[in-house]
Amino acid sequence: MAAPMEKIMSKLGWIKTVEMHTGGEPLRIIQSGYPKIDGDTILAKRRFARDNLDHLRKLVMLEPRGHYDMYGAILVSPDLPGADIGVLFTHNDGYSTMCGHGTIALGRYAIDYGHVKATEPETEVNIQCPCGLVKAFVQVTGGRTGQTRFHSVPAFAFATDLDVDVVGHGKVTVDIGYGGAFYAFVSAERFGLDVRKSRTRDIVDAATAVSNAVKEQVKLRHPDDDDLAFLYGTIITDGNDEWSDEPTANICVFGLAQVDRSPTGSGVTARIALQYHKKLITLNQKRTFESGACGSRFTGSAVKDTKCGEFSAVVVEVCGHGYYTGEASFTREDNDQIKNGFLLK
């Protein structure tokens, strides 16, 4: 006799996932059950998912199956030569163009789930993200995957020492950097806050106010595609941008006031690009970046000068470790009034 769950599974469609985290930030990787995502390019696939399948993003990201700060990855067929896998990143408000913590986790996943053959001591995994091709390098010892570093797409300083009018705070000076996604950066000190000690709610409120101001007052552009030209979030830092062997802390607030638990891999990329632009660090000078939310750490360094259109840019290496937390299967029943998910604000 079939168990109750087996009877249900035989009638309903199921989305199956692998659950991971990097630096405390979750990554829900879609294993099966998602419809085919159409598009000749990965940005076209991102648009298709946004316009046609967003109900499924809400299903797996939001409550009751997810939570306010859930993060996800949908594997898609890559269209770039040399790419091993393609990926769309999802969060509480839509689809990102880059995710560093996700890339670190996906490096392990791609090997462990057979997308890439393991070689020791390090295996290269080429991941096509919406922002471009990101090269991950995964440590493999005795057949077991471990720490992962990645080389970013060209990262650059978009604007420095830019004044914006922020509601409730007056003029605030920000830097804007690109690390696969655009971020505004501002020191917590400007708001009388401390990224390691202040209430997360206060950090979120300050960051959200800055993001709203930048979105209203600054027109972003990216040389490759207009789909990349939007502000993803604001990163509140401890202000310690000049190189030091001591960790520097930050908290990233992105999407719909979503808090990254990790140090934010694409944010670290953009922050290093700004520091390099300001001559606060040099090539191959490694820094440690700490999450003000939970204390987890990434390392990062500028490794190569390059260009991105008219912008002087740099390739950044970010290193961290993704971990498995489980597997899951999700469905919905037609008579469930909240079957499509909800966001508790």
The catalytic site residues sit at 99
Using the 8-state DSSP alphabet, how is residue 342 labeled? B
For the stretch 250-271, what's the b/e string if a residue is b when 16 or more beta carbons lie within 10 angstroms of its beta carbon? bbbbbbebbbbbbbbbbbbbbb
DSSP per-residue string spanning 156-182:
EEEEEEEEEEETTTEEEEEEEEESSSE
Let me know: does 255 contact 70? Beta carbons within 8 Å: no
Q: Which residue, among 231, 295, 304, has the nearest Cα to 266 in the 3D structure?
A: 231
For the stretch 208-225, what's the b/e string if a residue is b when 16 or more beta carbons lie within 10 angstroms of its beta carbon? bbbbebbeeebebebeee
For the stretch 317-332, what's the b/e string if a residue is b when 16 or more beta carbons lie within 10 angstroms of its beta carbon? bbbbbbeeeeeeebbb
Q: Which residue, among 101, 90, 22, has the nearest Cα to 268 in the 3D structure?
A: 101
Q: What's the CA gap between 231 and 212, in Å, rounded?
A: 9
Strand partners for 141: 144
Rg (CA), the chain: 20
- Report the first-to-last Cα separation within the chain, whole angstroms: 43
